[in-house]
Structure 1
Amino acid sequence: MLEVKDFAGAPVTHGRVSLNGTRIHYVVAGQGEPLVLLHGVPKSWYYWHRVIPMLSEHFTVIAPDIRGFGDSFRPQSGYDMETVSEDIIQLVDHLGFDKFGVVGEDWGACFAFAVAARYPERVTKLSFGESLLPGFGLEDWSHLSPENRALGRFLWHVSFFHVPDFPEMLISGKEAAFWSTWMKNETYDPAAITDDCVDEWARTSSAPGGLRAIFSVYRATWENIKFTQSVQEKGLPMPILTIGAEYFIAEEARNQMQHFSSNVEYVGFDCGHSLALERPVELAETLIKFFSPA
């Protein structure tokens, strides 16, 4: 892991806090209104290390390790979207903030969506990047079908990770090779997944309970479907920025959020699935523009 500094050259501040039945590791950097960054699978707060220096000039950046990921604890349960969203809201409370913006990518976007849905009075704006919600496309894209294969959208791992025990058995001891190959296959520029990233996510996923925790996110699918479908009935009131990668799910990110709001903006980048690693400057500029006060 490389040392990560804010816009002024000061190292990010690390913290740990016990809340909601687990213990969360997080980093804070910068100044201004709070902006929470939520990573996806199999990542950690370090996914954001290339954008934190830019964002921290404009916001107080809060980047936690989702429960079970990074250096957060790995409890036996609580990997559904509602429970993780409660972790995040309690973390923001601990840091003394009321209203905040929230950014998510991949599964982090699902968790950010859940925070916004459960606490709409506190989330000023939501950015939903490169993700499919359970109940609104995730399962459909995981099917082995001629259509999905032809369109290049067969997300085989969704079903594989959902199977109990077998992914852990097959991947244990091979974390670096597996995550590196899988993540690079989802990018436009494989060189964006550098050794420091692979080493960090191999380190944390190979820790006791690391793989179990990651796959538990997928194994909460039926709970998550029930939750997302309930949100559709009431919608989301805040402005939503959707971000898609031309070489992954692209405008599907926007399509997802249009089930919940008419106040949806879309920005697309010419990259693959790892937005903050492949297009950090463009992503930071887009987030700064969207989340800055008018």
Structure 2
Amino acid sequence: MEILNHQGEPVTHSRALLPGPTKLRLHYYTTSTSPSSSDKPALLLLHGVPKTSYYWRKVIPLLSHKYRIICPDMRGLGDSSHPASGYDMGTVARDFADLMTELGIEKFHLVGEDWGAAAAYALAAQCPNRVKSLVFQEMVLPGYGLESWSAFTKVHVNSGTWLWHVGFYAVPDVPELLITGHEREYFSSFIKNEAWNPSAITPDAINEYVRCYSNPGGLRSMLSIYRATLETGDQNREFSKNKLKMPVLAIGSKHFIGEEVKRQMEYVSEKVEYKELPWGHQLAEECPEELAGVYLEWLEGKK
């Protein structure tokens, strides 16, 4: 499925070679490179795991009439390169800051979901003067609950939101052994299980995610994010010593993380608004029109 803007035009795909010893090439796409696009406020959309920037394809044309959209693939994921290290969210966030600098964008609005929300928080914490507003969607931060949400308890197992995979992915070597060769079955089941409407996860999305996580280094990079969870937790506790001052909207799914996202942001931000949607974890797949409407309404006046 081709990714289009509000005028039905294809987005522009590029790769940026970022500064630093790893020579990281970050794949990203933008909705417009025309001179008039620079007049629009920039909006950076960060995807979660096990997804890629393709996750935002249904939302893009609903936002691009008002915003210059930038959608990157996280380091090691999608069509970005797969470095051996740097999967803590502090480092991942600096990748995105470097990308925006490369694009000549000093200030921007920021939306992140799942691990993209963890990266978005780390970016806002490290570059508070660049982030005009933050949307934190469907994530529990390392250091503030992700570890405990993965615990094997009656409460978690019966809730339907037991994050069992956090500990599993952190185990060296074993996830690679069990998932390799079964990527389609595994990721299709995993992603649909977190949705309230599994039929919203269309075959083109599964094909794209399986393609990317089956590429050399794709699975290893994804697992490296989880293997850096404790390091990211330490970073978050340090970041939170200075609470965020920019406007923050926490978005939760009624049938997944829900209002916990508000509590997460209250730990680290001075003022938080909350919006709950009656779907599952995969909001941009399940309710793109509703989700885009929430973004547009909340961003209005924050330009």
TM-score interval, normalised by the smaller of the two chains:
over 0.9
**Which contiguous aligned blocks of 4+ residues in structure 1 show a shift greater than 6 angstroms?**
none
- What's the counterpart of residue 85 of structure 2? 77
| Structure 2 equivalent of residue 15 of structure 1 | 14
Is there any run of 5+ residues in structure 2 with no aligned partner, and where?
none
- Cα deviation for residue 153 of structure 1 reads 2.9
For 1:115, the equivalent position in structure 2 comes to: 123
Q: Secondary structure at the match of 1:104?
A: strand
Partner of residue 199, structure 1: 207
Of 25, 28, 31 in structure 2, the residue corresponding to residue 29 of structure 1 is 31
Deviation string 1:207-242 (CA, Å, 9 cap, x unpaired) is: 001100001000001211111101221110101011
Structure 2 matches for 1:101-140, cutoff 5 A?
101-140=109-148
The answer as to whether partners of 2:253 and 2:280 remain within 8 angstroms in 1 is: yes
Report the CA distance between 1:261 and its aligned residue.
1.9
Alignment pair present for 1:256 and 2:256: no
Q: Is 1:167 matched with 2:167?
A: no
Match of 2:282 among 274, 280, 293: 274
**Among the aligned pairs, what percent are the same residue?**
47
1:235 aligns with 2:243: yes
Count residues with an aligned counterpart. 293
SS of alignment partner, residue 268 of structure 2: coil
Letter paired with 2:6: F
Cα distance between partner residues in 1 of 2:16 and 2:107: 20
1:140-168 CA distance string (max 9 Å, x none): 01000122123333211000111111111
> Which is worse superposed, 40-49 or 253-262?
253-262
Separation in 2, partners of 1:196, 1:150: 32
**What CA distance in whole angstroms lies between the structure 2 residues aligned with 1:258 and 1:112?**
15
Stretch moving more, 129-138 or 281-290: 281-290
- Whether the aligned pair in 1 keeps the contact of 2:44 and 2:109 (CA below 8 Å) is yes
**What amino acid is aligned across from residue 10 of structure 2 in structure 1?**
P
Which string of whole-angstrom CA distances, capped at 9 and with x for unpartnered residues, describes residues 31-64 of structure 1?
A: 4110000000011110000000011111000000
Unaligned stretches of 5+ residues in structure 1: none
Determine the C-alpha separation between the residues in 2 that align with 1:151 and 1:293: 37
Bigger shift: residues 256-265 or 114-123 = 256-265
Distance 1:106 1:153 in 2: 13
Deviation of the 1:286 alpha carbon: 0.8
Q: What secondary structure is seen at the aligned counterpart in 1 of 2:269?
A: coil
Residue of structure 2 equivalent to 1:144: 152
AA aligned opposite 1:16: R
Aligned-residue CA RMSD (Å): 1.0
Distance in 2, matches of 1:153 and 1:71, equals: 29
With 73-82 and 26-35 compared, the bigger mean Cα shift is at 26-35
Return the offset for 1:245.
0.4
* Cα distance in 2 for residues equivalent to 1:80 and 1:262: 24
TM-score, with normalisation over the residues of structure 1?
0.98
- Which of the residues 212, 219, 225 maps onto 2:227? 219
The equivalent of 1:50 in structure 2 is 58
TM-score normalised over the length of structure 2: 0.95
* CA distance in 2: counterparts of 1:29 and 1:129, whole angstroms: 22
The CA distance in 1 between the partners of 2:161 and 2:193, in whole Å, is 13
Which secondary structure state, in structure 1, belongs to the residue aligned with residue 241 of structure 2?
helix
Q: Amino acid of the residue matched to residue 12 of structure 1?
A: V
